Amino acid sequence: MQVSLVLGVPLLFLLAACLVVVGPDRALSQRAKLAAYPIGAAFCLAIATLYLVATQGPITFRLYDPASVGSFAFPIGFYVDRLSAVMMVLISGVGSVIYTYSIRYMYQDAHAPRYLALIGGTTFVLLCMVSSANLMMLFLFWQILSYLLYILAHNHSHAGTLDGAFRTFTLLRLSDVAFLAGIVLAHFLYGTLEFQELFVRAAESTATLSLLPGVEISGATAVTLLLFIGGMGKSAQFPLFIWLPRSLYAPTPVHALLHAGIINAGGFLINRLAPLFGQSPATLHVALVVGTLTAVLGATMMLTQNDIKKTLGFSTIGQMGYMIMECGLGAFSLAVFHLIAHGLFKATVFLNCGNVIHKARQDPEFPHADQREEEEHFSPLTWSTGFFTTLAIPLIILLVTHGVLRIPLLESQGAVIILFFIWVTSSQAILTLTRLRAVASWKVSAAMLLTFLFVVLVYLFAVESFTAFLYPNPAEVALYFQAADLPNWLFDLLLFGATLSTILGWLYLYLRAHGRSVWMPPWVDGVRIRLYVLFMNRLYVEQAYQHAGKFLLRLLHRIDKHAQGWSQR
Amino acid sequence: MMNEIVTTLLASIPFIGALLCLTVWSRSDYVKQTAIVMTMISLGATIALSPFLTVSSEGFLLLYLLPLAACVSILGQPTHETHRFAWVLTLVFLGLGVTILASHGVVGHLALLVLFGLVIGLLSRHHSALWPMSWWGIGVYGLGAVATVTSAMTEPPISTIASVLACAVLLPLVPLHSGYFTALTRLPGNLPSFIVVLFPAVGLHGLVMLTPMLPNNVAVTIMGLAVFGALYGAVRALAQSRMRLLLAYSSLSLFSMLWWFAAAAGITTAWASVFVGAVSFGTSGLLLAWQAIRTRYGDDVDPQAVSGLASTMPRFAVLLSLMALAVMGLPPFGVFSGFMGLLLTSPIASPSALFVILLAWLATSWYILDAVQRLLFGQQRPDLSFTDLQQSEFAALLMVVLIVIALGVIPAGLLGPNIVALSPSDIMGPFAWNK
């Protein structure tokens, strides 16, 4: 019963893909509609699996003997715990919505059968990946996903698309090879690739690796760093992010699947291997740096793009940066919470963006311009109320809430940073609303306060409940936070710097939004323009890759030419 | 005694097939059908009689693969009188290959000597303006023949080194890869697509017996050459525009990886058979696919001049993509399984060498995908006529795809007797692990 339930979820998606592909062209529409039923059934089975796992514990079954070394290459087995079950519900849910949407969206498109089948096939691969029983099976489907990304972003006769698809695949293979090296190292160190066994042996192992005389890193750090590079590729982290904006020629539903499902693979990988990553503070710090860099650069590049799909693409890169940064802070469950929320949000946005573009083409007044005269009205009472509401009250509420929810605020840097971000984002929302509606400050402030209370309390409650669901052992959660701790001086400096720049930024924005002039040195404008151009061109990273590729090819041809002189064939 | 009788029986089937083909020589279609039927009979007989053979440590996998390779290479060739000679020779080569893999001692050496002699004869006869005579290639096969005689007539360590040289000629290893390249580019008809399976299989058979006896300095030399070969093959493949040379360099790079693993571990496991079988079959399939293009657009067609085949030759496009995926080392194909098996059951002799091996592995995805993408996608040429695969071509390529998938998912217990794992303490070299 349990086995058929777990197997049924991915296999029904595969069945749907086969239904679309196999059969005459004239019956494609009927077959495409018929395939929606097994997909819907798969979603129901995923929910049933989640219930079963939540009530009865993890489901495990293997089609191989884990003790046999002969079963390395193709070890098909499933391990569905709460993390896998949650991911299965998310993937099958999003997959069902996207497939149903695509039936009409791709109607009469010449490539419809291919895309519909690929959506089913990709969801099948994703489901198998998240329910893998061992690192090898995860890697197996991880690689297939790399190729599927290549053909999903594919339009046979469009040169730009082909170029982008090729780069996507080669870049993803680069990170796949790092992943492979991580697997090899893990196997040599711990002698197994089975998740539970691997975690136990890694916890017992004290192996260190001497790369240079006097420079030693732990075995867990070496393994997790390599695996993290593997995750960086799929989750479009800096500097491996360029494949994502290059794949924007694909049909919109494909983007919805890509941005809501596939790109979360990095976050899932870290969560799946949380006990291993929890043993390596160095890797978590690297993840924090990479994630923060990606979040900042992705969000900044998003602001300067003039194409809706590229804007959404860079928004995803920024969000993936946040997700990896959360992992780097030791907040693994929060990263899963984030990827679910982002997945649902981004799938909705992508499925709607076609309609928005369509409407914008038909209606020259759309989107509507803001009412600037209302914004420019300035009242000192509004300003001070808004300022206090924005900055001080959220902090007070959060501190009180921590007391109620018993989060070890002062003992965990990760918790402080997460709360800091909650404060930043929620206050940002309040600021935006205050800026838009500057009149009736007391009513607005009261509404803000109530909304804020509601949102933050629900959010904190949801996060805490989700953490308890995903990681029922609080000691484990505390351990991950502890592993991610930064040196105190660095932590204080970062927090102080971030708070100061945020408050100054808000002050500047608030005053400018309400018609007040803010003095700035003249050179700032010049720098701002230069930065704008730089970020609009995506830091010229793509061009740098292009030049490096051309240089490498020239070098290879030169070597080939020289080699022809002495090599006979 | 039983082993000799069974070997004779198995080897005689293809030879009888070659004779039967001569009796229907005037009808090309009959020659082709006879050759295909005899390869199938050979396969059936091998499966039925293999329990009576002495099992070697690489298992019977390669022995089963040889008749299949002969069958698909003949099947993938269009029926034409100019190809009859190659079909008959395929059967002769198959008989020699079965003899070498199934027998031990002098008979095997003699069969190998005949094999070298036949290839030398063919290479001295078959060359063209596009692929001129290669004395280097012929010379390397001559060296292989001399090494075979030497290994049969001398005692270790000379015989061991001579055997290594013969193996390096068959299972290409720099600097003795020229023979393999010449055979792949100059042999007539379907022979390159069969030779690419036969020679590495025979080379691996020799290597399996040699690896436990390799002196340490020879093993270190082989490892050095193998790492260089893996990188050299990948670098040269990246710069190739001619398909057959690209495939030759690609397989040189992949086979060099096997040499590295074998020399590092000092033992050749059944994963090596899976790897060699899958790489050989994948390359053979791509050669057959390229043959289909050559049949339509001429022998000297520039791969960059043909594009957009995905929409005009969909069956060809799907099968070519699958074979390319196999050679690129993606799951669930045999190249991936074999490589993973080798990686996880061999020691890390040198981390920097492993890095180079992984780099060469990564490069495969680049040049194979680039070549396939150029053929299949992009704008289709209006001045070219497009005909999708004929039934026999389709069947041959489909068989190749199914075989490489089967090699990827084959249950480990069927592979061979000596699948072993190394303990973490086997890790050597500059990695210093403190436990």
Per-residue pLDDT band for B86 (boundaries 50, 70, 90) equals very high
Q: Give yes or no for residue B434 having a pLDDT over 60.
A: no
Residue-level pLDDT at A69: 53
User: Which of A72, A140, A187 would best serve as a mutation to test chain B binding (most B beta carbons within 10 A)?
Assistant: A72
Which tokens go with B432? Answer: 């210093």
Q: Sort out which chain B residues have CB atoms less than 8 A from A187's CB and list them.
A: 344
pLDDT at position A398 is 58
- Closest chain B residue by Cα to residue A207: B435
Which residue is closest to A73 within chain B, CA to CA? Answer: B337
Question: By mean pLDDT, which of A419-433, B109-123, B173-187 is the weakest?
Answer: A419-433
Q: What is the pLDDT of residue B424?
A: 46
Nearest to B331 among A140, A188, A216 (CB): A140
**Beta carbons of B344 and A567 less than 8 Å apart:** no
% chain B with pLDDT above 70: 93
The DSSP bridge partners found for residue A363 are none
Nearest to B330 among A69, A72, A143 (CB): A143
Collapsed DSSP state (helix, strand, coil) of residue B176: coil
pLDDT of residue A269: 92
Candidates B37, B24, B13; CA nearest to B96 is B13
Task: Summarize pLDDT for B399-432 with one digit per residue, the tens.
Answer: 999 999 999 887 766 665 555 444 444 444 444 4
Residue of B nearest to A63 (CA): B411
- The pTM (predicted TM-score) of the whole model is 0.87
Give the tens place of pLDDT for each residue, A6-44: 888 999 999 999 998 887 877 888 888 898 999 999 999
Does residue B435 sit within a domain? no
Whether pLDDT at B142 is above 80: yes
pLDDT of B430 reads 44
Among B176, B172, B198, smallest CA distance to B250 is for B172
- Cβ distance B434 to A147 less than 8 Å, yes or no, reads no
**Residue B118: pLDDT over 60:** yes
| Per-position b or e across A491-527, b if 16+ CB within 10 A of its CB | eeebeeeeeeebeeebeeebeebbeeeeeeeeeeeee
Per-residue confidence band for A514, with pLDDT thresholds at 50, 70 and 90: low
Q: Percentage of chain A surpassing pLDDT 90?
A: 23
**Residues of A with CB below 8 A from B333's CB?**
none
Average pLDDT over residues B282-292: 93
Q: Tell me whether residues A69 and B345 touch, CB distance under 8 A.
A: yes
| Residues of chain B found within 8 Å of residue A74, distances taken between Cβ atoms | 331-332, 337, 408-409
Q: Which domain range does residue B31 map to?
A: 2-426
Residues of chain B found within 8 Å of residue A150, distances taken between Cβ atoms = 369
Nearest CA in chain A to B374: A162
Name the nearest CA neighbour of A302 among A292, A291, A310.
A310
Q: Kindly tell me if the per-residue pLDDT of A179 is higher than 90.
A: yes
Closest CB to A191 among B330, B373, B424: B424
Q: Which residue of A has its CA nearest to B245?
A: A569
Evaluate whether residue B174 is within a structural domain: yes
**Residues B361, B355: Cα–Cα separation, whole Å:** 10
Structural domain includes residue B434: no
Q: What share of chain A is helix, strand, coil (3-state, %, to 5)?
A: 80, 5, 20
Shortest Cα distance from B236 to chain A (angstroms)? 6
Q: How close does chain B come to A58, measured CA to CA in Å? A: 27
**Structural domains counted in chain B:** 1
Mean pLDDT of chain B: 87
Which residues of A are less than 8 Å from B377 in CB distance? Answer: 154, 156-157, 162
Which segment of A391-400, B348-357, B388-397 scores lowest on mean pLDDT? A391-400
pLDDT, position B122? 92
ipTM for the complex shown: 0.86
Mutation to test the B interface, candidates A240, A558, A568, most B Cβ within 10 Å: A568
Smallest CA–CA distance, residue A372 to chain B, in Å, is 49
**B4: amino acid identity, one letter:** E
Domain locations in chain A as residue ranges: 1-133, 369-536
Beta-carbon separation of A174 and B378 below 8 A:
no
pLDDT per position as a tens digit, A473-497:
888 888 888 888 888 788 778 878 8
Dmax over Cα atoms in chain B, in whole Å? Answer: 73
Indicate whether B356 belongs to any domain: yes
Q: Let me know if residue B50 belongs to a domain.
A: yes
Question: How many residue pairs bridge chain A and chain B with CB atoms within 8 Å of each other?
Answer: 144
Say yes or no to pLDDT of B341 above 90: no
Enumerate residues 6+ apart whose C-beta is below 8 A from A533. Answer: none
Q: What's the average model confidence in pLDDT over A455-483?
A: 83
What integer pLDDT is reported at residue B421 of this predicted model?
A: 47
Contact map slice: B 374-413 vs A, CB within 8 A: 376-380, 408-409, 412-413
